[in-house]
Structure 1
C-alpha cells in the first residue's frame, strides 16, 4: 500500500510515519508534504506514484486541506488527521475513511487502517451516509481547544488550557509550560496554536512566545517601541513584545 502524508508539522509527520510503520512495515510512505500547492503539484505529476491512501491535515501552512480535494475532484481515500473537530461532518462528506484527532492514538490509527483495507478489498463502494447522519445528531463542538494531551516517556498527561502559562519555541521544538513550572513538548507550531486557542486568553507576543493573560506578572516600558514582560513562571530568556505587535497587544489587554 502506498500512502501520502500531507502535514505541515514536522514532529506530527514524523510521529505519524513511525506509527504507520509500527502497525504495518509493508506500508510505503511516498512523501511527506507540508502545503496545499505542493500536494496538488505532486498529484498532478504523472511521473509520481499515486497514493492508495492520503493522511490529510486540515490547517496547512498555505491553505485549508479541503482545497486539495476540491481543486482535484479527489477520489483517493483520505484519513483526516487534525487538531480541530469542527470539520468532522465536512470531512465525511468528502471521500474519507476516518477522522483522527491529534495527538493521534495508535490504536485508533490501527483501526482506521484496518477499515481502509476492508473497504479497499470490498467489491462494492462504501457509503458514509450513516456516519454523516450520526454526526449530525452530535451537538456543535466548542470552537477553541480546552485540553491538551501530552506524553513524557511512557506516561500520558491531560491538562486544561487554563493550567498553561505559555507556549514557547526551544531548539526548533514547541513546549508548553504549566503554571506549576512543569514543561512538555507538544506537536503543534505556534502558528497552529494561535488558531486553536481562545484569543481572549492567549496572545503571541513575538516569534517564540505565546502567552496566557494570567501569566503576566508585570509589564515594563523599555522605550517607545519596546515592552518587556515578566511572566510567572519565568522564561529562560527575557520576554519582549515585538514592535509590530505592541498596539495589538495593548488592545488585547484592554478587552
Structure 2
C-alpha cells in the first residue's frame, strides 16, 4: 500500500510514518508534505507510484486540509488527523470518513487502516464519502478552539483540560506545556500550530518561545528597551519577555 502524509508538524509526521511501518513494513510512504502549497505541487506532477491512501491534517500552517481538497480535486481515500475531538466524532462518522485524534496512537491507527482494508476489498471500493457535506459540517464548527490535550506522562496517558494548562514554551528543540501545578509535559505541537488552535482570548504569544494563559500572569514589569517582563505562576525556567513588536498588542489583550 502506498500512502501520502500531509502534516505540518514534523514530529507528528515522523511518528505517523513509524507507526505505519510498525503496522505493516511493506507500506510505502511516498511523501511527507508540510503545507497546502507543497501538497498541491506534489499532486500536480505525475509520480511513478500512485498513492492508495492519504493522511491529511485538518490544520496546516498555510491553510486548511479542506482548502487543499477543494483545489486538488482528488478521488482518493482519506484518513484525517485532527486535534479537534469536540466535533470530529460526529462529523466524520456521519460522512463515513475515518480520523485519528492527535497524538496518534498505534491502536487507533491500526483500527483506521483495518477499516480502510475492509472497504478496499469490496467490489465497488466505495471509499469516497460525501466531501461536500463533510466540509460544510467542519466549516460550521471551524471556530471551535481546542479545549483539551491528550498527554503522556511516563507510561500513562490522560486527557488534560485547557483550564489546567498555565503556558506553553519551546526549549531544547521540543514544545512543552506547563500545568498549573508546575509539571512540564512534552507535546507534539509547534507553538505556531498552538497559536491557531487556542482561544486568543485566553492565550497570547508573548515571544517566539512562550504562549501564556491570562490566568498564569502574575505581574508585568517594564524591561530594558521597549520590552516587558512577565512573571508567571508557576514560575518559568527562564525569563519571559514580551518582544518589542508584540508589546502594544499584549497591552490591548490584557485590557480586554
Q: When the two structures are superposed, what TM-score results if normalisation uses the length of structure 2?
A: 0.88
Q: Which residue of the partner structure matches residue 201 of structure 2?
A: 200
Secondary structure of 1:79's match? strand
Deviations along 1:14-50, one digit per CA (max 9) or x if unpaired, are 1111211121122111121101111111112113422
Following the alignment from structure 2 to structure 1, what is the Cα–Cα distance between the partners of residues 88 and 156?
29
In 2, are the aligned partners of 1:43 and 1:50 still within 8 Å (CA)? no
Q: Which residue of the partner structure matches residue 16 of structure 1?
A: 16
In 2, are the aligned partners of 1:150 and 1:184 still within 8 Å (CA)? yes
Q: 1:92 to 1:125 in 2, by over 3 A?
A: farther
Q: When the two structures are superposed, what TM-score results if normalisation uses the length of structure 1?
A: 0.88
Structure 1, unpaired ranges of 5+: none
Secondary structure of 2:223's match? strand
Q: Which residue of the partner structure matches residue 212 of structure 1?
A: 213
Deviation at 1:80, TM superposition (A): 0.4
Q: Which residue of the partner structure matches residue 38 of structure 2?
A: 38
Deviation at 1:166, TM superposition (A): 0.5
Q: Which residue of the partner structure matches residue 187 of structure 1?
A: 188
RMSD (Å), alpha carbons: 2.6
Are 2:6 and 1:6 equivalent residues in the alignment? Answer: yes
Deviation at 1:90, TM superposition (A): 6.9
List, as ranges, runs of 4+ consecutive aligned residues in structure 1 with deviation greater than 4 Å: 85-94, 139-142
Q: Which residue of the partner structure matches residue 156 of structure 1?
A: 157
Deviations along 1:87-115, one digit per CA (max 9) or x if unpaired, are 77776798x74122212232221111011
Aligned residues, how many?
A: 249
Following the alignment from structure 1 to structure 2, what is the Cα–Cα distance between the partners of residues 251 and 48?
54
